[in-house]
């Protein structure tokens, strides 16, 4: 079958659903690839690059829709594009079926199968197809870059001969994929970064990235993100009021606010009110990533950048991924390719639309003349945060002392038992008739060495085993010296054993040096 990608007709959309690299991977699955002329130009992919990858270039969108069995797009199709669909054809794109019910019905009347990339369930197996996360990651990164472009100071603090520059303070509202990307970017640029989210399980993720999590002094059990497909649940009115009160408290001290709070299928919650904007310092910046659904900021204007009377810049762009079209297209095309891999298990160029598969079923909006949206919940739930373990009970001084005494007594009994067993073994060997006294002297030294070495090595913490290589190298050197003395023996057996001893000790020495060198290289920047 043929997979075709038309040029996006949405104004300002530069992304493309197929790249030359993804086309090669699709061809390995048995498909033929087509693309409309100029479709990849906005993302930096020329028609010649597609031809070199074995892709057929169609002159018009009509010709492509007519020839392709599967159409891969970025934006939802327009009414005109929907009319070009035919029975049995498959459309793969962002579709938003909950918001585009009429569009879904029109595609279903045409008999087309619609796979909505925005409906891929958020389960572990589907991460490679999660196009929403791919685009949100780029949007979060780009939001910080846009904020920096409109902010009049450095992100990082500096002390120079000309004076001291304080670091920027960045607040990220919503610690989902976009929020975490924004946190990582702002932190790496040197800003003091704060983050807030209604899901308490993300606090550790935020702190691990070097940001400070903003906690509310409010007792309410929040629903775990796993129960809502990885998204935040709707908060109670009391929690929302406490949240706004906290934002009003910190707003005057924040330089840059990036809001990412959005639940699919709902309007964006209003989290940054007009009085909060009024309380911010002149020159501050707000980037509203939820502008397409009404915005988290009261004053956001979709697809525009405005400056308030008190000098606060509010950015409501909705095309952040398209502003990095090459990177966005590469990631999105990879998501499409993974979806096609799941649809083509036999790699024979013939899709197998298995409605028993959680991922395929979840992403399918229409199939075989039926509207299949909304899908049933996946059999495998999203990964939830591990439940908090109860803190171990604090022991009293008497209990600690009793535990230490018990451990010491147990260890003493073990060591005494080992010594007694060793002594009995040596005595038994010494009582063997004809056993020479010289052998017993060497044997006793050998047994004591093994015992002491065992006690020393066994009690070393795992983290210290690599530095211990230096000690083992010294021991191996002694073994080599002893073996060199014995290798000239008149006995063939002794010579063979000495040679084997030299060989094995040499492996230990050189291996120890290699491991130690590798360990030290971990701490070198060069």
Q: What is the dihedral sign for C-alpha 39, 43, 48, 51? A: negative
By annotation, the residues acting in catalysis are 122, 127, 130, 133, 231
Residue with tokens 């690059």: 49
Question: Residue-wise over 107-118: b if at least 16 C-beta within 10 A, else e?
Answer: bbebebbbbbbb
User: What distance in Å separates the CA atoms of residue 13 and residue 269, rounded to the nearest whole number?
Assistant: 26
Which helix H or strand E contains 437, and what residues bound it? helix 437-458
User: What distance in Å separates the CA atoms of residue 508 and residue 108, rounded to the nearest whole number?
Assistant: 69
User: What distance in Å separates the CA atoms of residue 317 and residue 290, rounded to the nearest whole number?
Assistant: 9
- Please enumerate in sequence order all residues whose Cβ is within 8 A of that of 436, keeping only pairs 6 or more positions apart, or say none: none
User: What distance in Å separates the CA atoms of residue 37 and residue 41, rounded to the nearest whole number?
Assistant: 9
Any alpha helices (H) in 198-324, and if so which ranges?
A: 203-208, 237-250, 274-279
| Paired tokens of 244 | 């706004």
List the 285-288 sheet strands across, edge first. 212-213, 192-196, 169-173, 256-259, 285-288, 313-315, 305-307
Burial of 313 (0-12, 13-18, 19+ CB in 10 A): buried
Residue 250's CB is within 10 A of a number of other CB atoms, namely 16
> Phi/psi class of residue 92: alpha, beta or left (left: φ > 0; alpha: ψ in -120 to 50)?
beta
Long-range contacts of 269-272 (CB under 8 A, 24+ apart): 269/240, 269/296, 270/294, 270/295, 270/296, 270/297, 270/298, 271/173, 271/243, 271/244, 271/247, 271/296, 271/297, 272/173, 272/247, 272/296, 272/297, 272/298
| Paired tokens of 424 | 């009995």
User: What distance in Å separates the CA atoms of residue 427 and residue 395, rounded to the nearest whole number?
Assistant: 46
Residue 509 dihedral angles phi and psi, to the nearest 5°: -65, -55
Count of residues for the chain?
526
- Taking a C-beta distance cutoff of 8 angstroms, is the pair 291, 302 a contact? yes
Which helix H or strand E contains 409, and what residues bound it? helix 397-430
Residue with tokens 């990164």: 141
């Amino acid at each position: 079958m043929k997979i075709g990608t038309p040029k996006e007709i949405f104004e300002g959309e530069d992304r493309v659903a197929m790249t030359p690299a993804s086309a090669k991977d699709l061809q390995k699955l048995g498909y033929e690839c087509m693309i409309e002329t100029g479709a990849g130009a906005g993302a930096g992919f020329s028609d010649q690059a597609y031809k070199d990858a074995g892709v057929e270039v169609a002159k018009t969108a009509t010709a492509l829709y007519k020839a392709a069995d599967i159409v891969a797009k970025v934006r939802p199709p327009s009414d005109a594009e929907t009319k070009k669909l035919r029975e049995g054809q498959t459309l793969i794109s962002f579709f938003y079926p909950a918001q585009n019910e009429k569009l879904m019905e029109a595609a279903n009347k045409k008999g087309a199968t619609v796979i909505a990339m925005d409906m891929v369930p958020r389960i572990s197996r589907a991460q490679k197809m999660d196009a929403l996360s791919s685009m949100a990651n780029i949007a979060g990164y780009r939001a910080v870059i846009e904020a920096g472009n409109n902010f009049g100071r450095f992100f990082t603090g500096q002390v120079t001969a000309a004076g001291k520059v304080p670091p920027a303070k960045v607040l990220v509202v919503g610690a989902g994929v976009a929020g975490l990307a924004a946190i990582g970017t702002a932190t790496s640029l040197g800003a003091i970064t704060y983050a807030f989210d209604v899901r308490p399980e993300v606090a550790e993720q935020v702190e691990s990235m070097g940001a400070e999590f903003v906690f509310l002094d409010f007792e309410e059990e929040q629903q775990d993100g796993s129960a809502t497909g990885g998204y935040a649940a709707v908060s109670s009115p009391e929690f929302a009021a406490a949240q706004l009160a906290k934002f009003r408290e910190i707003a005057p001290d924040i330089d840059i606010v990036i809001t990412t709070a959005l639940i699919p299928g709902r309007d964006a919650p209003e989290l940054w009110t007009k009085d909060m904007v009024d309380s911010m310092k002149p020159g501050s910046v707000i980037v509203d990533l939820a502008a397409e659904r009404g915005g988290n900021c009261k004053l956001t204007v979709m697809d525009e950048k405005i400056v308030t009377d008190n000098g606060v810049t509010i950015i409501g762009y909705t095309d952040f991924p398209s502003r990095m079209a090459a990177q966005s297209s590469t990631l999105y095309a990879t998501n499409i390719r993974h979806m096609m891999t799941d649809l083509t298990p036999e790699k024979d160029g013939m899709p197998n639309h298995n409605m028993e598969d959680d991922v395929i079923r979840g992403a399918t909006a229409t199939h075989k003349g039926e509207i299949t949206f909304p899908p049933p919940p996946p059999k495998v739930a999203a990964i939830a945060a591990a439940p908090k373990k109860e803190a171990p009970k604090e022991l009293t001084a008497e209990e600690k002392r009793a535990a230490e005494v018990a451990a010491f007594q147990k260890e003493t009994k073990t060591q005494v038992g080992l010594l007694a067993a060793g002594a009995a073994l040596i005595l038994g060997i010494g009582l063997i008739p004809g056993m020479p006294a010289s052998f017993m002297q060497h044997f006793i030294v050998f047994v004591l060495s093994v015992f002491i070495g065992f006690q020393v090595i066994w009690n070393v913490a795992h983290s210290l085993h690599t530095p211990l290589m230096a000690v083992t190298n010294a021991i191996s050197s002694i073994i080599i010296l002893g073996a060199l003395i014995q290798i000239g023996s008149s006995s063939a057996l002794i010579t063979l054993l000495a040679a084997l001893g030299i060989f094995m000790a040499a492996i230990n020495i050189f291996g120890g040096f290699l491991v130690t060198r590798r360990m030290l290289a971990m701490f070198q920047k060069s």
